[in-house]
């Protein structure tokens, strides 16, 4: 399993985190067996499981992040997974800010 680290912030819920990263609650719970997911503590680190990068892309397009857009909605809209987005942009973590530009790998058959 490939995972990225996420530091819990005040007000976070498991549901909110799962929607932000477009990962199911069960997947987060399974990746963090020693964390009490019903009592998230700010400052605590969670493993967010993501797919292993596919490397099946030969081209990319650019995408400008819109106001109030979440990482999950960007992934859904472009039909890619988090690991591929991070690999293609050379990132260890990603917090897309409105107006920032991301490289989005072109998925064969989705052009």
* Average predicted confidence (pLDDT) for the chain: 81
Instruction: Specify the pLDDT at position 46.
Output: 92
Determine the pLDDT at residue 1: 55
Chain mean position to CA 75: 8
| pLDDT of the residue at 71 | 78
pLDDT at res. 111? 47
The confidence score (pLDDT) of residue 83 equals: 75
Structure tokens at 53: 């990068």
What is the spatial distance between Cα 76 and Cα 33, in angstroms, rounded to a whole number?
Answer: 27
> Residue 82 in contact with residue 21, Cβ under 8 Å?
yes
Q: What is the chain's Cα-based Rg?
A: 14
Q: Is the pLDDT of residue 97 over 90?
A: no
Residue bearing tokens 């005040």: 10
Q: What average pLDDT does range 46-67 have in this prediction?
A: 78
Specify the pLDDT at position 98: 86
**In angstroms, how far is CA 105 from the centroid of its own chain?**
15
pLDDT tens-digit map of 6-51: 899 999 999 999 888 888 899 899 889 888 878 899 999 998 887 6
């Amino acid at each position: 399993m490939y995972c990225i680290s996420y530091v819990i912030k005040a007000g976070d819920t498991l549901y909110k985190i799962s929607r932000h990263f477009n990962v199911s609650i069960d997947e987060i719970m399974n990746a963090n067996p020693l964390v009490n997911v019903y009592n998230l503590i700010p400052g605590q680190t969670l493993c967010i499981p993501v797919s292993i990068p596919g490397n099946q892309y030969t081209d990319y397009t650019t995408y400008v992040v819109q106001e109030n857009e979440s990482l999950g909605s960007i992934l859904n809209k472009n039909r890619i997974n988090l690991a591929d987005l991070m690999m293609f942009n050379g990132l260890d973590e990603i917090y897309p800010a409105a107006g920032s530009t991301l490289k989005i790998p072109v998925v064969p058959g989705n052009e």
